[in-house]
Amino acid sequence: MAAVFFRHLAPGFIVCGLLLTALCYGHTARADEPAAEEGTLLILGDSISAAYGLDEREGWVQLLRDRLAEQELAVKVVNASISGETSAGGLTRLPRLLSEYSPDWLVLELGGNDGLRGYPPRALHNNLARMVKLAREGGAEVLILGMQMPPNYGKAYTKAFAAVYPKVAEEQQVPLVPFFLETVALVEGAMQTDGIHPTAKAQPALLDHVWPCLEAILKANEDARSDSLCTS
């Protein structure tokens, strides 16, 4: 019966039918193709990354999420930043965070509260180094965002504190943004009334300051550790 039916169809109709079938099959095959695998970026920081005094949607971490989406980079951002966090607190929390999220990348934005409380720079050094090692053992690449103390903490202390970040970065061979607040610290209107936390106006500048180095790491660019990307 089917043979009789097809003998009475016009040849052009049969060709069109076969072409339509092929197109539909091809569309189905493409729809079944796996999407790009999503990586996880964990940000472990203090109040600066927790958007202290701001709507969380205004913070640089949310702006980072927006930029990743705009550029269609398959990266999930987990913000584990807490106001008041110290390097010791971050070190205590990190094992659980690594176990829970299995991040591919870790951004460490810690140490500011260590400095404000006058903690020994040596302790900050040891805590940062230990966090880098733990992250690597868990399979994550690390980017460190450095901090500096205001001059009223004394020349000796501010110098020793600032030296911690490049020393850890060199010893552990990880990329570093030497001073996270460099582009906003002295800009009028960029800091809140406490003189410590950036305003909403400053958040895009924070992201832009970190982005070249972070982008290189996320895209597995071998230049990620070059001075042009990861130092000021």
Catalytic residue numbers?
Answer: 47, 194, 197
Other CB atoms within 10 Å distance of the CB of residue 107? 29
- Residue in this structure with the two tokens 């099959």, named with its chain if needed: 25
How far apart, in whole angstroms, are the C-alpha atoms of residue 43 and residue 117? 22
Could you list the beta-strand ranges (E) of the chain. Answer: 39-45, 75-79, 105-109, 141-145, 176-177
Return phi, psi of residue 122, to 5°: -65, -40
- In Å, how far from its chain's centre is CA 72? 15
Could you list the beta-strand ranges (E) of 7-74. Answer: 39-45
Q: Which token pair is 129?
A: 């180094």
Nearest to 77 by CA among 112, 54, 55, 104: 104
Classified as helix, coil or strand, 98 is helix
Q: Which token pair is 169?
A: 């970065």
Q: Rounded to whole angstroms, what are the CA distances from 222 to 31, 160, 187, 218, 229?
A: 33, 30, 33, 11, 11
